[in-house]
Structure formats: structure tokens, C-alpha cells
Chains A and B, each alone.
Chain A
């Protein structure tokens, strides 16, 4: 087995696939994808609903169809993939240690590594729900896998905590398969899911969405038999006297996603406390030279189309790096600051000498803003001021910085992005 590659990509989901295609098309033929599942495509394989690819392909595809488009592109280019292969370690000098049933444990030296491991769901243990720990409590994504891939129904009477998109999608999916979904409870006063999903997954089937509500008790010793939900105040603490009990045999949790960065951390990659993903520069490069990140491992995206777009950029830059065409990051570095409603930015720094003509800066906000402005400041000077009818936490936002505008401000130290009322 070959033990040296120009580019090794960790993960064969939407990010890894798009990064591989882009790296190949940027002139690097020596690319390897490592995937722990038995097939490529990642989480898209169980997202059988439609609505993917409107930006990328100008049509509405299901998850498996969207994945297949990219898998075909990988196959056409004969890019090698090792399936059923678990990466155990990435060293700071880019030695990737992995294992599988055929080859056992092996090491590969990469010129560049692309992190594309995706994210996972916030588990019950991270939610601090009181009550017993019976069977019948699943993350929404686990239920999705059971129903859509394995063909099993987790239960017939369902309560869902959290109104993330996977929870909404599963409310409809379980209903279509004959279950009674009693309600979706959401701790926040707004849903983190897309409006389209609230209408087409809940309203269409008369499933109530209870905002500012959470689960305060779980009953059942062997198997879950009921939950109690209660309203929460502005402090997100339950309000006494608002408790309601619902019998159920299933509780699904859709309470957020966390980038999966155990490998990154072990490699010494610096993470952002806000996104839980790597801190990257304009090249989507982490603090470790030659290690790049894209997709949900970097920050959780709303649409897969943006994952593909970001991953294509990571693939192209990694290719440049592997070919030795990228300047060392020792030139001037400009910091990006997220302020007043903007929770984070990706990237966090920009080297003007290394950036393309345009750099996309992606971010999310922490609250719902109506008729507000997204403003960009170059030090004290406001250079962008764009009115938005609505900005919501569930949707990713972006601004575009041009190399020209940065070159026009040679003394620029800090770029600030903020939400302004006027």
C-alpha cells in the first residue's frame, strides 16, 4: 500500500467529495479519501427528503441524489477512496494514522491534509434533562438512520425536543410512516429550523410547535412512557405551573450539532470556542500549515450547497499548497472581528497577499433581526452597509471581501462585521 499522498482528505461526505474533485481539477492527481462508513456520501445517504442542490444544480434533489452527483465526479476522476477506514490520528507534520479490516493499522505521509469529518448531534448527556434513563430516547439523526436506512420504526407515539431541521424532517417522516407525533418543543423563542420545514413538516400534518418549552421530566424505567414539558421564561428556566404531561414511547432530540474535531485537537489544531471548529485563515488553513478544514467540521452549515462551495475552495488551496505554490503565511495578517449580534466569522484572519480576488466570509447571528443592516468596518471606516429584511440564527449569512478593497487600505488592521439597526 502506498504510504505517501499529495493530499489526504479525512471524510467522504459532501465536504470531502467536493474537496477531492476540486483538488484534482486544480492539478493534483495524487489524492486519497478516507471514509469510515461503508459508502461515500456521509449523512446525505440518510437525508432522503428533497430540497438539496437548488444553488449548485438549480434543481431540487434528495440527499442521496445530491451525494451521487459528487460520487460520480470522484469516480470519473478515479480518485482513490478507502472505505470502512477509521482515521486514528493526524500528526502536526501531517502523518495520518488509520486502520481498517484489510490493511490493519497504517500510516500515510501527506503534503496537505483536508479535514472534512462533519459534525454530530448534541447527545442527551449534554442536555441535562431530569428524569429516568429508559430506552426509547434517540437523537433525531439516529431515528433517521433507523427509519430510512435500516427500515425500523423507533416507536409510534413521539415527542420531539428541539426544532432543528433534522427534528422537523423526522416529525414528518415518522408521521408518514404511521406514528403520531404529538408535539415539537423548542427551548428558544424561535426555531432554529428553516421556515420551509416548519410549514411542510409540521403545519402540513397539524403537529404543534411549542416555542419556549422544554422537557422537564422523563418517565419510564425500562422504556420511556411519558414526558412532561413546561414553558420556560426569558432566563430559559422552567416556569412552575406550566407543566403538561404527554404519554409517548419515543423522545427524539434535535438540539444542535457539534463539529467533530477530536482528530483536529489531537493534531494541535486551534478551535474556536463559538463554532467548535478550527480557526482558519482566508485559505481555510488551520494554525497547522498544510492542514485545511471545510464543511460542518469547520462550522455547521444550513445548506449542503454552501458546504460544497467551501470544500471546493479548500480543495483548490490544498492543491496549491501541495504543489508548493502557496506563499508561507508570514506576510501581513488582518483580523476579522464578530460584533453586535454576529457570533463568529469564518475565516478569522486574512492575509491580503494570499487571498483570491474575492473572499467569502461566512457567519451566523445570535438572534432574529428584522429590517437591520449587515455592516463591514475597515478599522473605523464603514465600507459595507447592506439592508436585510430578516437575519435569523438558523440561516448562514455571508459578505464578500475583495482583494482590491484590502489593497486600497494598506494600513488596515481589523475588519469588523456587525449587525446595525440603521
Chain B
């Protein structure tokens, strides 16, 4: 049996959630005061995911960096692998918003896309 404590992020209440686990099976969730808290707890213990946002280095651009994000959420325990790939990447200007900068980043099956435009240096 394992007990995990979480803070619900759905509203400013920030309910303290307690999840009892038996291996990969949830045996009990307590502390939530609305259904959203229960759903959040289930997702957080079974498959926590996050969108990662950062910047990628740009060459020949009017700016040094272009902001980027993983197009979808990625497993939480892969965040630093994704960061490593983002920091190793470099892209030549011009870059347009939505452009894929890294395909299948760190083998997650998710692309990293630009979230801003960067024009070419004049």
C-alpha cells in the first residue's frame, strides 16, 4: 500500500487529496470536495502529463531565441529529456508560429512547435 498526497489545481480551494494505491490500482481517494478533484487525482497518479515550454536558439534571426512548446502534453517524468533535446536544437530564421522545430521530441511522439514568429536578420 502506498499513500500519495496531492494538491488539486482546479480552483483556489486547493483541496488536499489523499490517494491510496495498491501497486498500480487506486484503492481510495479522499479529500476532494467536488468531482473535478477526484478526476484530477486519478490522472495525476496514473498518468501525470505536462506541456513543456521553453526557447530554441535561432541563427540569422532578428532575435536570439524563439519560444516553443510541446504541441501536446508529455509524460511528467520525461520533462528533462525533452528539455535536453530543446536545448540541443537550433533553427535558422525565419520561423513562423506553429512551425515544427523538433519532430517526435525525445521519442515521446510529440512535436515541439514554435509559439512566436522570428524574422530574418536584415
Nearest chain A CB to B90 CB, angstrom units: 12
Q: How far is the CA of A304 from the CA of B2 in the complex (A)?
A: 40
Q: Is the CB of B11 within 8 A of A390?
A: yes
Say yes or no for B97: interface residue by CB 8 A criterion.
yes
B38, CB-defined interface residue at 8 Å: no
Contact A150 B12 (CB under 8 A): no
A58 within 8 A of B: no
Q: Which residue of B lies closest to A152 (CB)?
A: B64
Check B117–A68 contact: CB distance below 8 A. Answer: yes
For residue B22, give the distance in angstroms from its CB to the closest CB of chain A: 24
Cβ–Cβ < 8 Å partners of A48 in chain B: 53-55, 67-69, 115-116
A151 vs B6: C-alpha distance when bound (angstroms):
34
Which A residue sits closest to B7, measured CB to CB?
Answer: A199
Which residues on B sit within 8 Å (CB–CB) of A62? 53, 67, 69, 115
Q: Is the CB of B12 within 8 A of A149?
A: no
Q: Which of A64, A176, A198, A200 contacts B115 (CB 8 A)?
A: A64
Q: Which of A44-102 contact B (CB under 8 A)?
A: 45, 48-50, 60-65, 68
Q: Are A204 and B50 in contact (CB under 8 A)?
A: yes
> In the bound complex, how far is the Cα of B9 from the Cα of A198, in angstroms?
9
Chain B residues in 8 Å Cβ range of A68: 97, 116-117
Q: Which residues of B contact A176 (CB under 8 A)?
A: 52, 54, 79-80, 83
Partner of A389, one of B13, B50, B64, B65: B13
Complex interface: chain A residues within 8 A of B115 (CB): 48, 61-62, 64-65
Residue A323 at the B interface, CB < 8 A?
A: no
Contact with B along A388-408 (1 / 0, CB 8 A): 011010110000000000000
**Which residues of the other chain, B, contact A63 by a CB distance below 8 angstroms?**
67
A49 to B70, CA, bound (A): 11
Interface footprint category on B:
20 to 34
Q: What total of chain A residues lie within 8 Å of the partner, measured CB to CB?
A: 31
Separation in Å of the B3 CB from the closest CB of chain A? 16
For the complex, what is the distance from the CA of A4 to the CA of B94, rounded to whole Å? 36
Picked from B11, B12, B64, B116, the residue with its CB within 8 Å of the CB of A64 is: B116
Which chain B residues numbered 11 to 53 have a C-beta less than 8 Å away from chain A? 11-14, 33, 50-53
B63 within 8 A of A: yes
Q: How far is the CB of B59 from chain A (nearest CB, A)?
A: 12
| The one of A45, A50, A199, A395 that contacts B9, using a Cβ cutoff of 8 Å | A199
Closest Cβ–Cβ distance, residue A34 to chain B (whole Å)? 22
Residues of B within 8 A of A194 (CB): 12
| Distance between A51 CB and nearest chain B CB, rounded to angstroms | 9
- CB B11 to nearest CB in A, in angstroms, measures 7
Partner of A392, one of B12, B33, B51, B68: B12
Q: Quick check: A390 and B13 within 8 Å, CB to CB?
A: yes
The answer to whether B12 touches A60, judged by C-beta atoms less than 8 angstroms apart, is no
A394–B11 Cα distance when bound, in Å, is 12
B63 lies within 8 A of A149 (CB): yes
B67 & A195 in contact (Cβ 8 Å cutoff):
no
* B9 (CB) vs chain A CBs: closest residue: A196
Which residues A159-212 have CB closer than 8 A to chain B?
176-177, 194-196, 198-200, 203-204
Residue of B nearest to A195 (CB): B14
Which of A60, A62, A63, A394: most chain B CB closer than 10 A? A62
Residues on the A chain within 8 Å of B67, using CB: 48, 62-64, 148
What would 30 A/B residue contacts be, using CB atoms closer than 8 Å?
A48-B53, A48-B67, A50-B51, A50-B53, A50-B69, A60-B51, A62-B67, A62-B115, A63-B67, A64-B97, A64-B115, A148-B65, A149-B63, A150-B64, A151-B55, A151-B65, A176-B80, A177-B83, A177-B87, A195-B11, A195-B14, A199-B7, A199-B9, A200-B9, A200-B50, A204-B76, A389-B13, A390-B12, A390-B13, A394-B12
Residues of B within 8 A of A (CB): 6-9, 11-14, 33, 50-55, 57, 63-65, 67-69, 76, 79-80, 83, 87, 97, 115-117
